[in-house]
Amino acid sequence: MDQEYERRLLRQINPQNVPTEAGQAKCVSTTCSPVSVKSGDRFIPTRAGSNWSINFHYANENCRSPNQNHKAKDASSDSSKDAVAYAALLRNELLGAGIESVPDPHTDDRRQAVLSHDSHSLFRYTVHMKRVPFDSDNEVSPYSLSPLSNKSHKLLRSPRKPARKISKIPFKVLDAPELQDDFYLNLVDWSAGNLLSVGLGACVYLWSACTSQVTRLCDLSVDGDSVTSVCWNERGSLVAVGTHKGYVQIWDAAGGRKLSSLEGHSARVGALAWNGEQLSSGSRDRVILQRDVRTPPSAERRLQGHRQEVCGLKWSPDHQHLASGGNDNKLLVWNSSSLLPVQQYSDHLAAVKAIAWSPHQHGLLASGGGTADRCLRFWNTLTGQALQSTDTGSQVCNLAWSKHANELVSTHGYSQNQILVWKYPSLTQVAKLTGHSYRVLYLAVSPDGEAIVTGAGDETLRFWNVFSKTRCTKESKSVLNLFTRIR
């Protein structure tokens, strides 16, 4: 900096302490103490490019740690609702947002409303030249002592939905010894008759949700075989059992007798799916077989499209399309007549076991990838387009949609072993449930669509109320060792 310019600048700040030319020469020739200069410490920031709406929205989030932010997003308590109402009230009074109802904290409407706000209206001074009568909907009574605007009054008077509370404690826990810790198997299913079928080692057990009675349906140890999959038909009268040797057995649950044993696979059968009287089975031999249980076993359709083991099968609600997932990271969609897949999705980076068709939107398919992928993806099978995706942070093992609301539940393995409830299409987490110490590999939904059961390699089955509409009482944990080892 030029010395002359610096001297003039210091003279403006404090004329008494600015050294003269003679003083500077004297300091050069002799030793002297440095001159103390008092400089101003005022800082005037530049606010020209600031977006006040966004800064206001993120003010509270920036002062919290990431863990606190994550817990705040997961919470669904009354305090979070009050915080949203208070933030909306401040936004009305300070930014003139004009919010008249409390937004739902589990949706993205808050952020979209903030981002759509015009930042140029901040600090704008206006004078209302004409006042409308006080009984108008657009103005507060002139005799009101409240400093709040009419929009804020409407906001405070807006009806508030009761906070949805999902118990994070299972209302029942069953002991399930020999429940295998294998990602590619499907060993738990819940029938329309409220019977739970579980494959434990070489046996299939039935547990009644009405009476809590346990019966053993079959024991494959006599043939040196083991259970790899179970699946009820839609009416809940027949249960299909896939075996390690590649057989598919059809059992009458009420009579406790085997009706037929279907051959055709050369390796274990890990996935089963009913479509009326037709049964689809997926195997490690990479083949999907479709058979009508009323016709001779020779009448079958072979669907070949996967290059590795088939680990997921689900029929659409309209019974027209079959979705299959495999260890080759592929998600295929088949129709009821063609032997080749009509659609193929290759966006997943790991095995696709978790598959679920939406009961609320025709053609909407959800899928989840394994450890190397960890993503939930949604597809429009009517157009073949990918809709959206989200990274869950852990292996996706199962998916199931709610029958009552546009929500779905996912179970996870490595590394968090958790159960997540999602709201669609915002993909915000409604609840996070933990309790299993191993991967949550198995999932089934109750026939009324309100409860789910999860199974894991920790040899427990846990029952949760995640989609309940009426039950609000606090659930207590009770450990029931109903499944016992057969020695």
Q: Tell me what pLDDT residue 483 has.
A: 44
Sheet of 238-243: strand order equals 227-232, 238-243, 248-252, 257-262
Sheet of 352-357: strand order equals 352-357, 364-369, 375-380, 385-391
Q: Tell me what pLDDT residue 477 has.
A: 36
Residues 6+ apart with CB under 8 A from 340: 305, 334
304/272 Cα distance (integer angstroms): 16
pLDDT in tens, 80-106: 667 788 888 888 888 877 787 776 655
pTM: 0.70
Mean pLDDT of 207-215: 94
Three-state SS letters, the chain: CCHHHHHHHHHHHCHHHCCCHHHHHHHHHCCCCCCCCCCCCCCCCCCCCCCHHHHHHHHHHHCCCHHHHHHHHHCCCHHHHHHHHHHHHHHHHHHCCCCCCCCCCCCCHHHHHHHCCCHHHCCCCCCCCCCCCCCCCCCCCCCCCCCCCHHHHHHHHCCCCCCCCCCCCCCEEEECCCCCCCCCCECEEECCCCEEEEEECCEEEEEECCCCCEEEEEEHHHHCCCEEEEEECCCCCEEEEEECCCCEEEEECCCCEEEEEECCCCCCEEEEEEECCEEEEEECCCEEEEEECCCCCCCEEEEECCCCCEEEEEECCCCCEEEEEECCCCEEEEECCCCCCCEEECCCCCCEEEEEECCCCCCEEEEEECCCCCEEEEEECCCCEEEEEEECCCCEEEEEECCCCCEEEEEECCCCCCEEEEECCCCEEEEEECCCCCCEEEEEECCCCCEEEEEECCCEEEEEECCCCCCCCCCCCCEECCCCCCC
Of 78-87, 222-231, 363-372, 419-428, the one with minimum mean pLDDT is 78-87
Mean pLDDT of 43-64: 56
Q: Tell me what pLDDT residue 479 has.
A: 34
Determine contact, residues 81/89, Cβ cutoff 8 Å.
Answer: no
Provide the pLDDT confidence category of residue 79 given band limits of 50, 70 and 90.
Answer: low
pLDDT at 471 over 50: no
**Residue 214 vs residue 147, higher pLDDT:** 214
335/275 Cα distance (integer angstroms): 12
> What mean pLDDT, rounded, does the chain reach?
80
Q: Tell me what pLDDT residue 279 has.
A: 95
Q: Tell me what pLDDT residue 165 has.
A: 84
Q: Tell me what pLDDT residue 129 has.
A: 45
Provide the pLDDT confidence category of residue 63 given band limits of 50, 70 and 90.
Answer: low
265/407 Cα distance (integer angstroms): 36
Mean pLDDT of 459-480: 64
Residues 6+ apart with CB under 8 A from 10: 17, 18, 37
Of 6-10, 223-227, 250-254, 352-356, the one with minimum mean pLDDT is 6-10
Q: Tell me what pLDDT residue 487 has.
A: 31
Q: Tell me what pLDDT residue 152 has.
A: 79
Provide the pLDDT confidence category of residue 31 given band limits of 50, 70 and 90.
Answer: very low
Q: Tell me what pLDDT residue 175 has.
A: 95
Mean pLDDT of 355-375: 96
Q: Tell me what pLDDT residue 415 has.
A: 85
pLDDT in tens, 266-281: 999 999 999 999 999 9
Q: Tell me what pLDDT residue 4 has.
A: 74
